[in-house]
Structure 1
Amino acid sequence: MRSIKFELTIYLSLGIVFIIGLLSFLSYHSAEDELGELYDANMEHLASAMIENFAGNAAPEQNFISGLRKSKLHGEQDYLIQIKQNNQIIYQSHRGVFAAKTDKSGLFTQWLDHKRWRIFILSQEGLTCVVAQDYKLRQRTIRDVAIKLIIPQLLVVPFLIILTLLIIQKTFKPLTVMSEEMAKRNVDELNLFHENNQPKELIPIIRSLNVWMKNANAFITLRKRFISDAAHELRTPVTALRLQLSSLSHANQKELQDRLPRVFDSLTRMERLVEQLLILSKVEPDGRPGSVSKVDLNALIVRVLNDLRSIYIAKRLDVGMTYSEDIHIFGVADEIEILFNNLLVNAINYSPEDGLINIQIRSQHHAIEIEIEDSGPGIHPEDIHKVFERFYRAQSNKPSGSGLGLSIAQEIAQKHHAEIILINKQPKSTGLIVKVIFNTSLEST
């Protein structure tokens, strides 16, 4: 599993090692150059001092020579010094022959007797001074000094890495605290996170979590209400059915013939209720989304009417439909079919025999309007805004339904950016007008 904290630690540690390593490398070479120049300057100073001391004197002062030997840098090996006059050696600091070429002056590096030497030659006042230094020993000394200079830089690397770990740990602490608080929450306690005193980078995460928890709370509340309402609504028909079946055990043939139709009616209502509950669980806003496609409303409503044909023919209803060409929306076809099925079933159930149902489909500016007009008793004004509540049954002398049809239709309409409007006809006539208005400027494609 990936860890941002671990990756950040690795990347920052590598960055620290790289930067300190680069600085140490540059410091080493800079110190090496500076020490080399210092040694060269020391050789030049030594040669100049020797020339001054020997000029006009047959023999140098011994105290001066001893002082020169004691004046070398810390860790520096002895210099080889040779003074010539008229190509004759008049002074040599070490025993043995040191045959340096004196035909050129200045600083240079030269191989003598299989050894590499750093040499400075100064010719002045008839004297030639040769100052030589073992190049290998010189470089070793320079390297030792340079390493001592960069060791503190290298030793600070572990402390910088530890400091980086502590800073990362402290920086991620608010996220760790939030994670622990989130783990303590359960479905019954989804309190929102506070944005106060939180790092700016965490605010978008906190807001997203709060939105999620609001939706989760709404969904959980919806589910609890759904289960509670379903249990309450199913208890009554189940109890009635049990009592009816219990009474049948002592009934005679005539009573059986009278009561069995009522038992079947109860079973039919219960079946309808269960079917509507299952549909409601699927079409709720927080339910699993269906497949969105282009829906031809003309063809869909014709299909619904064909499915309900036997019902409205049995009541001798006159069902008419007026539609426009090329009326379509984008949505879940199965859900939209359920919406119009429920609305048309209500219109059929509440229309009297030999009644009239008119359906009109109109296309308006950024909207499509479907109007269903029946010849039923209409809805009491007090019930207009309540009929969309679950299990609410309007005041009517008709047999009660499940109380879910309009609630399901409303859920589907909201998912498809649509609005359902109920309008009672004028007082001089009966009936209800149901308008479904789809806002085509908001629909998802």
Structure 2
Amino acid sequence: MSGVSSMIHPANPSVRRTLLVWLSVGILAGIVFAGSMIYMQVREQANQLFDYQMKQLVASLPAQSYAPLIPTRPELSNMQEDIIIQIWDSQGLRIYHSHDTSALPQRAELGFSNFSAHGTTWRVYSAQLGDTIVQVAQPLSARLELAARLALKTVAPLLLILPFLAALIWFAVGRSLSAVQRAATDVQSRDAGALTPISEAGVPQEVQPLTRALNELLQRLDISIQAQRNFIADAAHELKTPLTALKLQILLAERAGEGPQREEAFADLKQGLERAIHLVQQLLTLARQEPGAVEQVPQVVDMQALVRAATGDFAMAANDKEIDLGVQADTPAQIMGHPDGIRILLNNLLDNAIRYSPRGSAVDVSLLADADTVSLCVQDNGPGIPEGDLSRVFDRFYRVPGSQSKGTGLGLAIVRQIAEAHRAEVVLTNTGKGLLVRVVFGRELLPAAG
């Protein structure tokens, strides 16, 4: 398990750190956004308040004419904060100004307006009072500064609690992921044969799909390993019998005298050797067709050409038993699959059909196609299969009781395994004159024409 642990890249992101960073950034962004909104609202309210104040200030002044007055604030030191007042008489003569040096325009525009001078923007309000024009101005920077101070005071507490929120997030995420760490420790402490499910106790809901997927994988591995163990045990048992028979036949051939007795002994030895070779070949074929044993890329399979080629290969075996091997494959048909696997499937069906059909009978191979499926059918003239055994003949090394054939019991197991790899269905039917095997392939995986 240490090798597996060493494969964890140190640069892989931490869930806790990632959540902390993103949540902290999100909270900070929310605080900044809230501060901006508060600032804009306070600025709007400050503008309304100060505008009202300027109007009230003008309204509080007397409406009679003024004599020229001396400025009350000759210095310009606080003009960025002060309110400036100017008054003109009916002749346009400025009779009062609150600051000795004024940056305001010399002509009044009644109502509210904005005016920029010397890098400062002023909010100006002008009104006519009797024979005089009164102009009141205030720098906008004073209003903006007040709005910023109020907004900062509002969001400052939120900024102060941000570190506490980060600590809380760090603790909460760590506590939530502790169950994941326990599950990882459980897996690390197991040996290769421990395939029991991982406990989901305390695992967060967001992580449960991962643990369930791992448990399903462990279950599939357990089933696969158990199937392999059964296969090895069955194969060892099945190989033991022909090998023991070969050993006995070798002893008999050594002891046989000259003439017919010796020839018969060597004929039996040859037949036993052929059965052993056939069994080994079937075992190797079955192993190669196991899921994941060999990586193959699906391709378009011309079923018409494949059926004709396969039946041609069995023509000599059919002639030896005087069996009429017929082929009906006039309709072009294509599927997506593995040509070698489908060829092995058809070879096993033909081998069984010829093996179980009596001498002088017939075996018919047909290819049927429609818009959705392609059906490969093999009809023999053999004894068929008892109804109670139709579902069991697909099991490895299973032979129908009372069968006279010396087969390995692997042919239909190989057929089913290849069919499952192609998501095809295998249907066995006793027709009264023999066994009909129908393999139905889907055509949904074919590439689009053109």
Residue equivalent to 1:283: 289
- Give distance in 1, aligned partners of 2:209 and 2:395: 36
Residue 370 (str. 1) matches residue 377 (str. 2): yes
In the alignment, is residue 9 of structure 1 matched against residue 23 of structure 2? no
- Would the alpha carbon gap of residues 44 and 392 (structure 1) be closer, same or farther in structure 2, given more than 3 Å must change? closer
Q: Which residue of 1 aligns with 2:306?
A: 300
Mapped pair 1:267 → 2:268:
no
- Residue aligning to 1:344: 350
- Alpha-carbon shift at residue 359 of structure 1 (Å): 0.6
* Equivalent position of 1:392 in the other structure: 398
Decide which moves more: 272-281 or 180-189: 180-189
Partner of 1:221: 226
Root-mean-square deviation (CA), in Å?
A: 5.5
8 Å CA contact retained: 2:187, 2:198: no
| Cα pair 2:428 2:437 within 8 Å, conserved | yes
Match of residue 62 from structure 1:
none
Alpha-carbon distance in structure 1 between the residues aligned to 2:392 and 2:366:
26
CA distance in 2, matches of 1:8, 1:34: 38
CA contact (8 A) 1:416 1:443 kept: no
Structure 1 residues 48 and 328: CA distance shift in structure 2, 3 A = closer
Residue 404 of structure 1: how far off its partner (Å): 0.7
1:417 aligns with 2:424: yes
1:357–1:373 CA contact under 8 A, matched in 2 = yes
C-alpha distance in 2 between matches for 1:240 and 1:371: 33
Aligned pair count reads 400
Report the secondary structure of 1:421's partner residue.
Answer: strand
Contact 1:387 1:393 in 2 (8 A): yes
Go from structure 1 to structure 2 and tell me whether the alpha carbon gap of 1:107 and 1:388 turns closer, same or farther (over 3 Å shift).
Answer: farther
Shift of 1:387: 2.8
Residue 221 of structure 1 aligns to a residue whose secondary structure is: helix
The sequence identity of aligned pairs, in percent, is 27
Structure 2 length normalisation: TM-score?
0.64
Distance 1:189 1:235 in 2: 31
Matched residue type, 2:222: N
Moved more, 149-158 or 284-293: 284-293
Partner of 1:19: 30
Going from structure 1 to structure 2, the CA distance change for 1:362 and 1:310 (only over 3 Å counts) comes to closer
Distance 1:46 1:380 in 2: 112
SS in 1 for 2:197: coil
| Correspondence for 1:235 | 240
Distance across 2 between alignment mates of 1:372 and 1:332: 24
Contact 1:416 1:438 in 2 (8 A): no
Counterpart position of 2:170: 165
Conserved 8 A contact 1:294-1:328: no
Cα offset for 1:209? 4.4
Mapped partners of 1:29, 1:196: distance in 2: 47
* Cα distance, 1:248–1:297 mapped onto 2, change above 3 Å: same
Q: Is the 8 A contact 1:107 1:119 kept in 2?
A: no
Specify whether residues 268 and 6 from structure 1 end up closer, same or farther in structure 2 by C-alpha distance, changes over 3 A only.
Answer: farther
Q: CA deviation at 1:391?
A: 0.8
Q: Specify the code of the residue in structure 2 equivalent to 1:220.
A: I
Contact 2:73 2:98 in 1 (8 A): no
Q: Using a 3 Å threshold, how does the CA distance of structure 1 residues 250 and 144 change in structure 2: closer, same or farther? A: same
Which residue of 2 is the match for residue 73 of structure 1?
Answer: none
**Deviation of the 1:373 alpha carbon:** 1.6
CA radius of gyration, larger in: 1
Equivalences for 1:138-153 in 2 at 5 Å? 150-153=155-158
User: Which residue of 2 is the match for residue 72 of structure 1?
Assistant: none
Aligned with 2:360 (options 355, 369, 387)? 355
Matched, 1:319 2:332: no
Deviation track 1:212-271 (CA, whole Å, cap 9, x = no partner) reads 4443333223222212212222233334445555x4897477487654444443332222
**For residues 235 and 110 of structure 1, do their structure 2 counterparts lie closer, same or farther at Cα, with a shift above 3 Å needed?**
farther
Q: In structure 1, how many angstroms separate the alpha carbons of the residues matched to 2:375 and 2:139?
A: 101
* 1:368 alignment partner, SS class: strand
SS in 2 for 1:238: helix
Deviation, 1:437, is 2.5
Q: Do the aligned residues in 1 keep the contact of 2:379 with 2:435 (CA within 8 Å)? A: yes
Compared with structure 1, are the counterparts of its residues 238 and 24 closer, same or farther at alpha carbon in structure 2 (3 Å cutoff)?
same
Deviation at 1:292, TM superposition (A): 3.5
Q: For residue 401 of structure 1, report the CA deviation from its aligned partner.
A: 2.3
**C-alpha deviation, 1:141, in angstroms:** 9.7
SS class of match (2:394) = coil
Which SS does the other structure have where 1:340 is aligned? helix
Q: CA deviation at 1:154?
A: 2.5
Question: Aligned pair in 2 of structure 1 residues 38, 381: CA closer, same or farther (>3 Å)?
Answer: closer
Do the aligned partners of 1:420 and 1:436 also contact (CA within 8 Å) in 2?
A: yes
Deviation, structure 1 residue 45: 11
1:437 has 2:438 as partner: yes
Equivalent position amino acid for 2:307 in 1: I
Structure 1 unmatched ranges of 5 or more: 53-84, 125-131, 427-432
Q: Is the 8 A contact 2:367 2:376 kept in 1?
A: yes
Aligned ranges 1:118-197 → 2 under 5 Å: 150-170=155-175, 172=177, 187-191=193-197
Do the aligned partners of 2:390 and 2:428 also contact (CA within 8 Å) in 1? Answer: no
- Identify the residue that residue 112 of structure 2 maps to in structure 1: none
| Cα distance, 1:416–1:14 mapped onto 2, change above 3 Å | closer
The 8 Å contact of residues 87 and 96 in structure 2, kept in 1 or not, is answered as no
User: Aligned in 2, Cα 1:43/1:198: closer, same or farther, shift over 3 Å?
Assistant: closer
